Amino acid sequence: MMTQYLALKREAGDCLLFYRMGDFFELFFDDAKTAAAILDIALTSRGEHQGEPIPMCGVPVHSAEGYLARLIKGGCRVAIAEQIESPEEAKKRGGSKALVARDIVRFVTAGTLTEEALLEPRRANVLAAVCDVRGTCGVAACDISTGRMELEECDPGQLSAVLARLGASEVVCPEEWEAAPDGAIARPRHDFASDEGEARLKAVHGVATLDGFGDFSRPMLAAAGGLVAYLDHAGRGTLPLLLPPVARDGGSTLAMDEATRNSLEILESSTGGRAGSLLAAVDRCVTGAGARQLAEDLAAPLTGRAKIEQRLTLVQWFHADPLLRADLRGVLRALPDIGRALGRVVAGRGSPRDLGQLRDGLGEARRIHDVLQSRGERPALLDAILPSLAGHGALTDLLSRALVPTPPTERQNGGFIAEGYDHALDELRQVSGNARRAIAALEAKYRDETGIAALKIRHNGVLGYFIEVPSRHADALMTSDSGFTHRQTMAGAVRFNSLSLHEEAGRIAEAGGHALAAEEGHFEELVGEVVGRSREIASTAAALARIDVAAGQAERAAEGGWTLPEIVEDRSLDIVGGRHPVVEAALAKAGERFVANDCTLSPEDRLWLIGGPNMGGKSTFLRQNALIVLLAQAGGYVPAERARIGLVDRLFSRVGASDNLARGRSTFMVEMVETAAILAQASEDSFVILDEVGRGTSTYDGLALAWAVVEAVHERNRCRCLFATHYHELSRLAETCDALSLHHVRAREWKGDLVLLHELAEGPADRSYGLAVAKLAGVPKEVVARAKAVLDRLEKGRAQTGGLAAGLGDLPLFAAAAVHEEDQIDILRERLHGLDIDALTPREALDLLYELKREAGEG
């Protein structure tokens, strides 16, 4: 056995090997150690290898999916080695000691999952293949749970941005590729030949040319070849559902690099979860397929005005009819995920339940079609997708006649073909049922004949049917003329057989076996019918998802008072009463109100320099405008009173501190890398938000960098930009940059406390309120007091000598200064305590104020 295991393990490579032994998948050696640690199960041993105990652990076959999910989440890949013959077949082949033959039937990896229990319903599971062909990267991406496949090409410098948009669970690339993405799985280089990729796609789709699917470049085809080869390897020759590939034009979607996506927290928050993301704040879809489509829309907003307005018109149509929207969402909510059910069926992992889901889902799709078709004037996008919801009448009728109302998840035990569909099957079931009744009658007969009331006829998987009596009655049945044959003695019971029982059991087994074979044959026929219509069913699933997205967007708009954006092709951005959807939702939960602000950019006023205190709302204002642009170009309503959006080709966000220690980059280095990317790539049609550029270095360096960046954005990139800063000196740029205007977030000090108003106003900030913010944050009073003394001396030195640090040389140390300030406070407290204010004349009061001011060092 161990020889067989080691041979399969060599074939499995770096995958954990699930080795089937009866009702368990067993793991050995280092695989067992790894799995036991991740799954938190017992690590045992079995036998020895080279004189050492063999580590071992196992999981039950019937619950293996749950363990697989945890292993995949833990970063493992798993090879499934199944028994490919029965013990009886092994005995016939090689005698009683013959080892049951086993083979790897499938590789389970993060990007090749189709099982319902292993997938997140509301998240796509993308597998990507990437390669390089003469300096151009090819990218092939596919979610095999639904079959959707896209091909694109990009410059090497844009590959990380493409992968960030895809959010791939697994990436494969050619071996020994120097530019391989982190964590990518290396595959044989010959898999990524473009001619091989073209041949594989033709074979998969049974076509002589790919021209009908689109125009694909050599890098695209090379990546597609690597993807299909990997899927063929993972499925051991059985390919999953693959729909015709679609060529993606990089210019058709709003470009965002990885840093921007992370900064804006589009699909995931900074903590890595869905909660707190833009997607979570927007998603009101009632189906998993709709939620996945919405995530794709937000990850890749459109840049074409016509397509954006098609989506917006559909959302507006549902927004205008709340009753229709409510009824439709009620129907959608009950729909099964037919896209993923289809994926499992085509991949050979389908069940009777999946066929039942297709039956029910396609039937409800027809109902939705009829409801929407009966409406009056409809949006163009709805008219385009409505035909996809109909046309499955013959298939749904077949599945309805063939399947029981609630088919089981397993087909081994039968029982899923409806009565009346196959008369021969009904007869076999009747024979089996009659035989069971005959066994019950036989049991009653044997009780009467033997006088043993405790006699029972039982069944198990090893012995089949047998007669069982308590041990005290066994002797009466042991005689040669009793008609019973002894089979097994148990503790407290003895088991027998009889000729009549053997005959009835044979009839049951024969009828049952024929019935199971008949049901299996019908299952394969039904699967064939489904596979033959896979493209049409996939189109239906996509249409239902698009309708769910539009209805969900309309629901979110009605819920939050969002507005329909106007999409224009000039370089304007006019947002009235804009709000941050995520922050507003969080404040609403706390019972607080979000303060809305306007943003009006135009070719004549395209760069806003925004000052004001930390925590005053600058970063929120920057992000909310970027998110409003993103939401509008994704085809949805936006959180504002009014919005006029000039199309944006690229969106950049440099907001918030981050580092990349794994690559040896400090926070400031990351900031400069991201800023460099913006300056190199932003066009006049781009929208850029920048926050506190230059803060990670010395004051002079930082100010100089911020100054130069503002000038470059204004003069060279000439894009729409919101630039937040604490450097008051940058306000001087308004004198020379004609398209730059000054703004600030308002704040006030009231009775020594800072009040943040979160309102945007025109003009420069009067000061930064840094010490007030420090006090608000809980910095110790003595530290704030010390900082004030240093600030006073800095400002005096700069006013007198022009040097920023002038006058600090004779400043007392922190401890001495703190003690001195405490003494001064005590003295002042004593003087004020003994003062009779009512007895002071106006002149005496004025003289006292001058005296106190001199003692404080300000006279």
- The CATH number linked to 82 is 3.40.1170.10
- The reply, when asked if residue 352 is annotated as ligand binding, is no
- 233 or 482: which leads in pLDDT: 233
Q: Is the pLDDT of residue 245 over 80?
A: yes
Q: Report pLDDT for 616.
A: 72
The answer on 710 and 631 residing in a single domain is yes
Q: What is the pLDDT of residue 22?
A: 86
CA atoms of 141 and 242, how far apart (whole Å): 11
DSSP codes joined into one string, 668-732: HHHHHHHHHHHHHH--TT-EEEEESTTTTS-HHHHHHHHHHHHHHIIIII--EEEEE-S-GGGGG
If asked whether residues 846 and 768 sit together in one domain, one would say no
Number of Cβ within a 10 Å radius of residue 90: 17
pLDDT of 413-443, one tens digit each? 899 999 999 999 998 888 877 777 888 889 9
CATH number reported for the structural domain that contains residue 164 in this entry: 3.30.420.110
Q: Does residue 253 form part of some domain?
A: no
Residue 51 annotated as binding?
no
Q: What is the mean pLDDT of residues 676-702?
A: 86
Per the annotation, does 619 bind a ligand? yes
DSSP one-letter code for 55: E
Which residues form the domain of 232? 116-248
Q: Do 544 and 340 meet the contact criterion of CB atoms below 8 Å apart?
A: no
Given this model, what pLDDT does residue 680 score?
92
* Residue 234 confidence (pLDDT): 94
> Between 489 and 728, where is the model more confident?
489
Annotated binding residue at 614? yes
Q: Which of 669-679 are b and which e, b meaning 16 or more Cβ less than 10 Å from the residue's Cβ?
A: ebbbebbebbb
Are 127 and 142 contacting, i.e. CB atoms less than 8 angstroms apart? yes
Residue 339 lies in a domain: yes
For CA atoms 33, 34, 37, 38, give the dihedral sign.
Answer: negative
In the predicted model, is pLDDT for residue 818 greater than 60?
A: no
Q: Which tokens sit at 693?
A: 């550029």
Same-domain check for residues 162 and 229:
yes
Predicted pLDDT at 823: 54
Give the model's pLDDT for residue 317.
97
Q: Cβ distance 797 to 791 under 8 Å? A: no
Same domain, 123 and 218: yes
pLDDT (0 to 100) of residue 1: 84
Q: What is the mean pLDDT of residues 600-627?
A: 91
Could you tell me the two tokens for 79? 């090879």
Residues 401-413: what's their mean pLDDT? 93
To the nearest 10°, report the CA torsion of 442, 448, 449, 450. 110
Least confident of 123-132, 303-312, 492-501, 630-639: 492-501
- Rounded to an integer, the average pLDDT of 148-172 is 95
pLDDT tens, residue by residue, 492-533: 999 999 998 888 888 888 888 889 999 999 999 999 999 999
In the predicted structure, residue 55 carries a pLDDT above the cut 90: yes
Amino acid at 819: V
The DSSP bridge pattern shows strands 597-601 and 573-578 to be antiparallel
**818 close to 782: Cβ distance less than 8 angstroms:** yes
Contact 248, 148 (CB under 8 A): no
Q: What is the mean pLDDT of the chain?
A: 89
pLDDT in tens, 103-147: 999 999 999 998 888 899 999 999 999 999 999 999 999 999 999
Question: Does 778 have pLDDT greater than 80?
Answer: no
Evaluate if residue 404 carries a pLDDT over 70: yes
| Tokens of residue 774, six digits | 């420090």
Q: What Å distances lie between residue 313 and 84, 350, 585, 680, CA to CA?
A: 55, 38, 25, 36
Q: How confident is the model at residue 239 (pLDDT cuts 50, 70, 90)?
A: very high
Q: Is 256 annotated as a binding residue?
A: no
Q: Identify whether residues 498 and 622 lie together within a single domain.
A: no
Q: Is residue 612 a known part of a binding site?
A: yes
Judge if 574 and 555 occupy the same domain: no
On whether residue 781 sits in a domain, the answer given is no
Model pTM? Answer: 0.85
Rounded to whole angstroms, the Cα distance separating 106 from 249 reads: 34
Cα(181)–Cα(183) distance, integer angstroms: 6
Q: Which of the four pLDDT bands, split at 50, 70 and 90, describes residue 817? A: very low
Q: Is the pLDDT of residue 812 over 70?
A: no
How would you list the strands of the sheet with 573-578, edge to edge? 566-568, 642-646, 573-578, 597-601
- Out of 195, 228, 248, pick the residue that ends a domain: 248
Same domain, 720 and 765: yes
Residue that terminates a domain, selected from 52, 81, 108: 108
Flag whether 618 is marked binding.
yes
Q: Which amino acid is at 672?
A: M
How far CA 826 is from CA of 288, 821, 835, 853, in Å, comes to 68, 9, 14, 16
**Which of 204, 229, 248 delimits the end of a domain?**
248
Q: How far apart are CA 597 and CA 624, in angstroms?
A: 10
Per the structure, the count of domains in the chain is 6
Mean pLDDT of 289-295: 98
* Cβ atoms of residues 694 and 705 within 8 Å: yes
Alpha-carbon distances, residue 574 vs 150, 600, 601, 810 (angstroms): 35, 4, 6, 53
Distances 488 to 68, 304, 394, 498 between C-alpha atoms, Å? 40, 79, 54, 13
Q: Is residue 807 part of a domain?
A: no
Whichever domain contains 504, its CATH number is 1.10.1420.10
Give every CB contact of residue 66 below 8 A, 6+ residues apart in sequence: 117
pLDDT given for residue 121 in this prediction: 94
Compare 821 and 174 and report the one with higher pLDDT: 174
| pLDDT at residue 662, as a whole number | 45
Tokens of 851: 């005296």
pLDDT of 834 > 80? The answer is: no
The reply to whether 527 falls in a domain is no
Min mean pLDDT across 80-94, 339-353, 536-550, 583-597 is at 80-94
Sheet order of strands, 44-49 included: 44-49, 52-60, 24-28, 16-21, 78-83, 102-108
- Does the structure show a pLDDT above 60 at 194? yes
Claim to verify: residue 202 and residue 147 sit in the same structural domain: yes
Q: Is the pLDDT of residue 168 over 80?
A: yes
What is the reported pLDDT for 754?
A: 56
Residue 662 sits in the same domain as residue 546: no
How far is the C-alpha of 768 from the C-alpha of 134, rounded, in Å?
A: 52
What digits encode the pLDDT tens for the residues 252-290? 999 999 999 999 999 999 888 899 999 999 999 999 999
* Mean pLDDT in residue range 77-101: 85
pLDDT at 520: 94
d(CA 155, CA 265): 25
Shared-domain flag, residues 613 and 713: yes
- 804 is a domain residue: no
How far CA 34 is from CA of 17, 109, 521, in Å, comes to 11, 16, 41
The answer to whether 288 is annotated as binding is: no
pLDDT, tens digit, for every residue of 728-762? 888 899 999 999 999 998 877 665 565 666 788 88
> Could you tell me if 665 and 705 lie in one domain?
yes
| Per-residue model confidence as pLDDT tens digits over 548-578 | 999 999 999 999 999 999 999 999 999 999 9
Dihedral over Cα of 91, 94, 98, 103: its sign = negative
Sequence-ordered list of residues with C-beta below 8 angstroms from that of 120, at least 6 positions apart, any chain: none
> Which is nearest to 150 in space by CA: 343, 296, 268, 260?
296
Give the Cα separation of 564 and 585 in Å (integer).
Answer: 19
**Strands 148-154 vs 246-247: parallel, antiparallel or unpaired:** parallel
Residue 825 lies in a domain: yes
More confident residue, 835 or 410: 410
pLDDT at residue 97 in the model: 77
Note whether 30 and 168 are same-domain residues: no
Tokens representing 182 are 């982190």
Return all residues near 640 (Cβ < 8 A) that are at least 6 apart. 562, 563, 565, 575, 576, 577, 578, 579, 596, 628
What does residue 852 show for φ and ψ, rounded to 5 degrees? Answer: -65, -35
pLDDT attached to residue 86: 80
Residue 590, classified by CB atoms within 10 Å of its CB into exposed (0-12), middle (13-18) or buried (19+), is exposed
In a domain, 259, yes or no: no
> Do 693 and 621 touch, CB atoms closer than 8 A?
no
